[in-house]
Structure 1
Amino acid sequence: MLFLNAINGIPVLGLFFQFVEYLFTSLPFTAHVALQLAVPICLAALCGVMCERSGVVNIGLEGIMLTSAFTGWFGAEVFTGMFGAGTPTPIFGLTLPLVLGLVAAVAAGMLMSLLHAWLSISVRADQIISGAIINILAFGTTGYLNTLLAATSLPSVGNFAALNIPSSVQDVPLVGWLVNALFGQGPIGVVTILIVIAFQVLLFRSRWGLRTRAVGEHPRAAETVGIDVIRLRYRNVVLSGAIAALGGAYLSMEATNAFQAGMTQGRGFIGLAAMIVGRWTPLGAFGAAILFASAQAISQSIAVSPPSGQLGDLLSHVPSQFFDALPYMITIVVLAGLIGRSVAPAADGRPYERESAH
């Protein structure tokens, strides 16, 4: 009601142009925040792309990320107790406990993906149910362990630091803000950009990519030309777990230095949506992840530096919960518009069984 009263009598077109002007002036900050928020979503989406391009549906991204977030944080705490905090490096603030914790997070993600691969490929269980099992197992286990650890005293550990882009670079017209947004992040954020580029090239310009796409589209035909469908699917699903694990580790080791139960907050499912919106391509998934993260970035920009004038007065009457829910609403709207238009790989979600020799 307050919002309706606030907008009454204010020209809507004028508000629109004020909002566009505000977005333009706040672009450097908003872009930087959007890239940071997009990192875990993008990594989850890339995991989904690798799985589904191989013919395996993976809705267990949320569980893989959550397991890795807990394992990375707890591993860093344990290694800090064993080796001490250490001296952070000038770039990225790397320490031995943090690096070992990240390795533990990746190993945990690959282990969870191996479980999903075994259920989906060898057991030939329903892949949706298998992914749901991964999620339930991760939520229950990490929540229980986090409750147990809350009563214990663990050594304090830092987190990965963002790369400091010199102000002389940031002030370069037109491109300075973009360089800061892309590379003014911690090691996982920077590695994400590199993974997107490498994955896009490898998927469409390498022998591995050709085989992966063949297995996801026509596994029987791929088998006849000598491609081991089962082995390739196993390899890709487990490798994709390492990518999703980086997304989980980002939440507990780079964005923060702590673990909270359920801290993924649906990012794995938004990653699946980004995969679909991006039409099962790495670059497309990256762009979709930025789209979904931009809504939350704009809300943070408004909270930090609200616009002035009538637009500021109007936005002050908008409940903060609206901005919190905006990324999820955008996800639903975009997906609804793509129903029937985005076509998944032909063999996606179909268990493969080798023909018996006669």
Structure 2
Amino acid sequence: MNTITSTSPNSQGAVMGKLSWKMPVTYGLATVLALFFALNASGDARIRLNDRASSIEIPDFTVPSVATLWIFFAVILLATIWSVISTMGRGKYAQLGRILDKTAVIVVAILTVFGFLVFAGGGSAGAITLTSTLGITVAISTPLIFGALSGVVSEHVGVVNIAIEGQLLVGAFFGVMAASFFKTPYMGLIAAPIAGALVGSLLALFAVKYGVDQIIVGVVLNVLCLGLTTFFYGTVMSDNAESFNTNQYSLATIRIPGLADLPVIGPMLFDQTILVYIMYIAVVLLTIFLYRSRWGLRMRACGEHPRAADTVGINVNRTRIRNTIFGSAIAGLGGAFFTIGQGLAFTDNMSAGNGYIALAAMILGKWHPLGAFGAAGMFGFAKAVALLMPNLHGGIPSQLVNMIPYIITIIAVAGFVGKSRPPAAENIPYIK
């Protein structure tokens, strides 16, 4: 039997689909930004790689701002041109394109961020303290990563966990309360995930057992957690601060010999509290077990096709309930970093929207633990850069500086996330 194959341009266009100009436009915006930096730069930028806790002395070095930024602009412009050619080529450069596209995203993102730092630090008396900025990045990113991992677990099983914000908040609250009452931070590490799990139990009860819309339940739980913590903070905690809300019992840093002395990354990665090391382990274990274990397969089956999972003997709703509670406990543990992880007392609304940023990081990371880790780290780095800015360029309005992390998050989600698909049965109650 002969098969007729159409090779007309119209048929090829139908197969190829519509052109997507999202990446070329995103690269184009980065090119305009790089050009602005290059045209307005002046002086030299001083970069500091040494950290006070490091045993290896690395002298500061300077780079010419104008020349450096013109090089950055040229590289970003090449990436933009390639993106346009690749888009117009419609698959002609598929094999080469897959390699270059991934490389271009990383290169453009790095050069744009460092271009901003060089622009801000050009001619400034202050130094770009890279090692300290990376250390702050870890501190800011840790609760975000825990929250994003919580979302990964919950959504892979088919439950949208909007309540991450509230789970972070109660984790911070009960973490410092338990640590203050028992006079040891390790009791806070036990109380925080339990508090998060209790909130997750309410989410599982209403969303899974009774089929209430998961997003509505999550929003209500966030309001409930904010109201309860605000009430008890203003009454129990304020009246008995020494017993329930002291910063005297915080987690001590654990310095790993040898690794902590590595230049630049040593203090950032290997001179941290046990909570940060738990976060590293959680990312690795979830990445392995989610895709290489029976538990992970059952989870993903319940989130993708619960009817098929039920036919092979998996109790869908029980699996959803258990993993929603487990994911919520992860978020509660992350909330403890706000208090006992940083040596701070609890304050009203301490999570300050980090739960919603964690959800954005999960989506940007395409529901993968490593992707969520990277996306949360990107936001943390952007916020650390915003904290560094006043020391480099006092002329930048503080309002604009505070907007930097959120602007970068919006650009990343809109431009770099690409095609991503949530679990098919997300926010769909399963009735047997």
* Shorter-chain TM band: 0.7 to 0.9
Where does residue 189 of structure 1 map in the other structure?
Answer: 276
TM normalised by structure 1 equals 0.83
Distance 1:340 1:119, change over 3 A: farther
Identical aligned residues as a percent: 38
Confirm or deny: 8 A CA contact 1:165 1:180 kept in the other structure.
Answer: no
Give 2:153's aligned amino acid.
Answer: M
Count the aligned residue pairs: 319
Distance 1:25 1:237, change over 3 A: same
CA shift for structure 1 position 321: 3.0
Where does residue 307 of structure 2 map in the other structure?
Answer: 220
CA shift for structure 1 position 20: 5.5
Unmatched segments (≥5 aa) in structure 2: 1-36, 43-64, 70-114
CA shift for structure 1 position 341: 2.4
Unmatched segments (≥5 aa) in structure 1: 1-6, 81-96, 307-311
Where does residue 98 of structure 1 map in the other structure?
Answer: 185
CA shift for structure 1 position 335: 2.3
Give 1:318's aligned amino acid.
Answer: I
Where does residue 318 of structure 2 map in the other structure?
Answer: 231
SS at match of 1:185: strand
CA shift for structure 1 position 76: 1.6
> What is the rounded CA distance, in whole Å, between the counterparts of 2:417 and 2:387 in structure 1?
30
* 2:406 aligned to which of 316, 328, 332: 328
Confirm or deny: 8 A CA contact 1:295 1:323 kept in the other structure.
Answer: no
TM normalised by structure 2 equals 0.69
Confirm or deny: 8 A CA contact 1:252 1:258 kept in the other structure.
Answer: yes
- 1:129 maps onto 2:216 in alignment: yes
* 1:177 aligned to which of 234, 241, 264: 264
Distance 1:9 1:253, change over 3 A: same
The C-alpha deviation readout for 1:235-260, integer Å capped at 9, x for no partner, is 10011111101111111111233101
> What is the rounded CA distance, in whole Å, between the counterparts of 1:10 and 1:332 in structure 2?
25
Question: How is 1:254-273 mapped onto 2 (pairs within 5 angstroms)?
Answer: 254-273=341-360
> What is the rounded CA distance, in whole Å, between the counterparts of 1:122 and 1:191 in structure 2?
31
- 1:243 maps onto 2:295 in alignment: no
> What is the rounded CA distance, in whole Å, between the counterparts of 1:9 and 1:143 in structure 2?
49
CA shift for structure 1 position 25: 6.0
Give 2:430's aligned amino acid.
Answer: Y
Where does residue 239 of structure 2 map in the other structure?
Answer: 151
Distance 1:153 1:25, change over 3 A: closer
Which of these two proteins has the greater Rg computed from alpha carbons? 2
Give 1:151's aligned amino acid.
Answer: D
SS at match of 2:233: helix
Where does residue 55 of structure 1 map in the other structure?
Answer: 158
Where does residue 427 of structure 2 map in the other structure?
Answer: 349
Confirm or deny: 8 A CA contact 2:364 2:417 kept in the other structure.
Answer: no
* 1:161 aligned to which of 246, 252, 255: 252
* 2:397 aligned to which of 315, 319, 342: 319
> What is the rounded CA distance, in whole Å, between the counterparts of 2:339 and 2:168 in structure 1?
10
CA shift for structure 1 position 181: 1.6
For CA contacts below 8 A with separation 6 or more, give which structure has more relative contact order. Answer: 1
* 2:136 aligned to which of 33, 39, 52: 33
* 1:337 aligned to which of 408, 415, 425: 415
> What is the rounded CA distance, in whole Å, between the counterparts of 1:268 and 1:52 in structure 2?
15
Where does residue 381 of structure 2 map in the other structure?
Answer: 294
> What is the rounded CA distance, in whole Å, between the counterparts of 1:163 and 1:25 in structure 2?
26
Two-structure CA RMSD over aligned residues (Å) = 2.4
- 1:42 maps onto 2:145 in alignment: yes
Where does residue 86 of structure 1 map in the other structure?
Answer: none
